[in-house]
Chain A
Amino acid sequence: GAVVSQHPSWVICKSGTSVKIECRSLDFQATTMFWYRQFPKQSLMLMATSNEGSKATYEQGVEKDKFLINHASLTLSTLTVTSAHPEDSSFYICSASRDEQFFGPGTRLTVL
């Protein structure tokens, strides 16, 4: 049990476009999901905490208007990178919490 999926697994987009990443907990309900960003050969950096039915809580330095998070149900959270730029290229990972955190497989975003 405790499977978390992400879609898409990778995406390439042009600068200035928006990209939506989905995170789903497949076999359990998660009132809280987390979104991380990971640059090559670096650790995971928490971007925001997503709570079902309420606004996300963003970490210091993360632009809430650029990284839109929606947690519409107990099994789905979405991260939308708006007006993406090359510096937003990264590996985005979500986790769903059920006492402990279970991580998704990640989404590699490349902005040209």
Chain B
Amino acid sequence: GENVEQHPSTLSVQEGDSAVIKCTYSDSASNYFPWYKQELGKGPQLIIDIRSNVGEKKDQRIAVTLNKTAKHFSLHITETQPEDSAVYFCAASIHTGTASKLTFGTGTRLQVTL
């Protein structure tokens, strides 16, 4: 089955700096890669996703890149703010248009300091 690795496990940046989180996946058939933000005591929230037919996607301060050949994808957050502090999870799945199982990475705890 799919295996997703995520690095780093913790990341501390100063407000205004950029943060990068990287994930690798093992199943070349995976074609959907969402990123989730989870605040303490809450469920994960989808912040951005990318499909395998696209190499990069951007939404304001958040961007995701995908390298299918190397089987890795990354989350980039620019101009970080204290409210970006949370745990971020990457995930991968084989998306067929109907419900598909997600395999999650191990999570990255991002701390944005003033």
Contact = CB atoms under 8 A, between A and B. Distances in A.
Are A and B a genuine interacting pair, yes or no?
yes
Interface of A: 4, 6, 31-32, 34, 41-46, 49, 93, 97, 99-106, 108
A106 B99 contact: no
B73 interface: no
Query: A-B pairs with the 6 shortest C-beta distances?
Result: A32-B99, A97-B99, A103-B43, A106-B43, A105-B43, A43-B104
Interface residues on B, range: 20 to 34
A43 B89 contact: yes
A43 B102 CA distance: 12
Interface in B95-112: 97-102, 104-107
A100 B42 contact: no
A43 B9 CA distance: 11
Nearest to A96: B99
Interface stretch (B11-19, B44-52, B54-62, B63-71): B44-52
Contact of A108 (B32, B41, B101, B102): B41
Contacts, number: 52
Contact of B101 (A4, A34, A41): A34
17 contacts: A4-B43, A31-B98, A32-B98, A32-B99, A42-B107, A43-B104, A44-B89, A49-B101, A97-B98, A100-B32, A102-B46, A103-B43, A103-B44, A103-B45, A104-B43, A105-B42, A106-B43
B92 to A, nearest CB: 13
Contacts of A101: 34, 46, 99, 102
Contacts of A43: 89, 104-107
A49 B102 CA distance: 11
Nearest to A57: B101
B2 to A, nearest CB: 11
Nearest to A32: B99
Contacts of A46: 101-102
